[in-house]
Amino acid sequence: MTDDVLIQIEGKAGRIRLNRPKAIHALNTGMCRAMLDALTAWRDDPAVEIVLIDHAEGRGFCAGGDIRMIAESGAGDGSQARDFFRVEYQLNHALFTYAKPIVAFMDGITMGGGVGISQPAKYRVATENTKFAMPETGIGLFPDVGGGWYLSRLPGKTGEYLALTGHRLDGAECAALGLASHYLPAAALEDAKARIAADPAAVEAILAELAVPAPEPRIAAHREAIDRLFAADTVEGVFAALEADGGEWAAAQLATLRTKSPQSMKVSLRLVREGRAKASFAEEMAQEFAIGGRVAQSHDFIEGVRALIVDKDNAPQWKPATLEGVSDAMLDAIFAPLPAGEMWSPA
């Protein structure tokens, strides 16, 4: 076990509490393995009727994964990065297929890996503090941990919009899009957890009683524009539509996209489009594992982490530097299935 995640049984609930406050509870391999082991132990334990996932002290639910480690590994042989992805995706899949109900409390920053451990839950609680995003195109990565599954199933072209821009949603927007099942004031969370742990069978009634009406979702004002401007088959087509629009909102999205990795944007758009046709979550995770191992060793990811996380000069030098430089052959190589002995499979 690891002190980075606190695991215990409280009442009739299995409690998983992320505990890396200085890293905004970003996941590392040990945390993922400990959570996976706990879920396995609780699967047939009659004392555990429900699982609650939240964070201990500090702000944010979970800011993502251990990006520095992945980049350092990617600059070498990539083995540690692949080990992390393998265990993390097994955790994501175990949560997705778990027989007992899970409640995830997305109070604060919920990004990347935080999305991966909250979206599989039957009950996903957002608050006024929620900041939900898949911002990976900004560091040369892609919306993994099931992003190809979840984003592709959002209304209209919202998934394409979020995958490409990394736009942050608030709690009300998460509730409106179905990314959250309930909207509660943060002040009510401890009461909710205590009552659910004492009486798991009443979880729906408890959440419904403590829920409050969410504010008007800001994204609703742009839904028509999102569906129209992010509908193209290619990233170049999205850029062309935004350029032709001439409006202030479209110009702002275009400015955002111009800061992102061209390769990552193309990978992300293809991931969302292909994700809609995936027959199972396991199939999606196997695809993302193949992509993740390759992208972790790519120039753009290592450079993106350098520019935004290590040196913080916010001036990544992408290669290729243009969308046109990212060929279909390059994408096909990134998406190619792995050899049988290297493929991902559920735990």
Active-site residue set: 65, 113, 136, 144
Smallest Cα–Cα separation from 337: which of 289, 297, 300? 289
Sequence-distant (≥ 6) Cβ neighbours of residue 11 within 8 angstroms? 194, 197, 198
Contact 180, 135 (CB under 8 A): no
Characterize 265-300 residue by residue with b for buried, 16 or more Cβ atoms within 10 angstroms of its Cβ, and e for exposed.
Answer: bbbbbbbbeebeebeebbebbbbbbbbbbbbbbbbb
Give 168-221 as a DSSP string. PEEHHHHHHHTS-SEE--GGGHHHHHHHHHH-GGGHHHHHHHH--PPPPPGGGG
Residue 106: strand, helix, or coil: strand
Residues for the chain: how many in total?
347
* CA-to-CA dists, residue 94 to 75, 106, 190, 306, angstroms: 30, 19, 26, 32
d(CA 194, CA 329): 53
User: How far is the C-alpha of 213 from the C-alpha of 97, rounded, in Å?
Assistant: 30
